[in-house]
Amino acid sequence: VSSHDTTGDNTISGSINLDNNVTLSAFSGGRIIISGAITDGQGAGTYGVAINATGTVRLSGSSANSGQSTWTVQAGTLELSKTDGTDAISSAGITIQSGGTLKNLVANQINNSGGVTISSGGVYDLNGFSETISALSLAGTGSGSNGALINSSATAATLTLGANSTLASASSIGGTGNI
């Protein structure tokens, strides 16, 4: 699913059932907003959702994304904006690769059993919101050495981690607000 609009929003309001891998992409200056649920389809496999954009993809709405589909931010920004406590990211968790940014716009967007993996050059921005995850794997300094785990808001953010978290050498936490 891609948007070639470079100045506005493109909204998908229906549910998406995955029966194959899918890549979501928006051009720079554009945004795809998905307000319905993304769930595993009727197929026998587990599929992946990749964000590969120079723009922004936003997950919003009040229906949880569910299933065991893996999420990867390869490039661009994935904004999490579901109703507080509604899973934008399921228990399968998410990986943020170099050039990718994950940003909370609302608290409690990742299933508490899900983990977050941040590769060197990737960024997870709590943006002043709280989150609870089972595991954090952090490797690298993020984009421009500003931190791989950041809080860009002046409002303090809380990240509650399970026991299986790792910080590799040269990992950094930063931003303007407290974490």
Query: pLDDT (tens digit, 9 = 90+) per residue, 76-113?
Result: 999 999 999 999 999 989 999 999 999 999 999 999 99
d(CA 69, CA 90): 8
Q: pLDDT tens track of the chain, all 179 residues?
A: 555 656 678 888 888 888 778 888 888 888 999 999 988 766 656 677 888 888 899 999 999 998 877 899 999 999 999 999 999 999 989 999 999 999 999 999 999 999 999 998 999 999 999 999 999 998 877 776 677 899 999 999 999 998 778 777 566 677 766 77
Residue 14 tokens read as 């229906």
Burial pattern 69-89, b for ≥16 Cβ within 10 A else e, equals bbbbbbbbbbbbbbeeebbbb
Q: What percent of the chain has pLDDT over 90?
A: 49
* Summary mean pLDDT of the chain: 86
Q: How far is CA 100 from CA 23, 52, 62, 178, in A?
A: 14, 8, 25, 22
Nearest to 51 by CA among 30, 23, 9, 29: 23
- Predicted pLDDT of residue 79: 97
pTM: 0.90
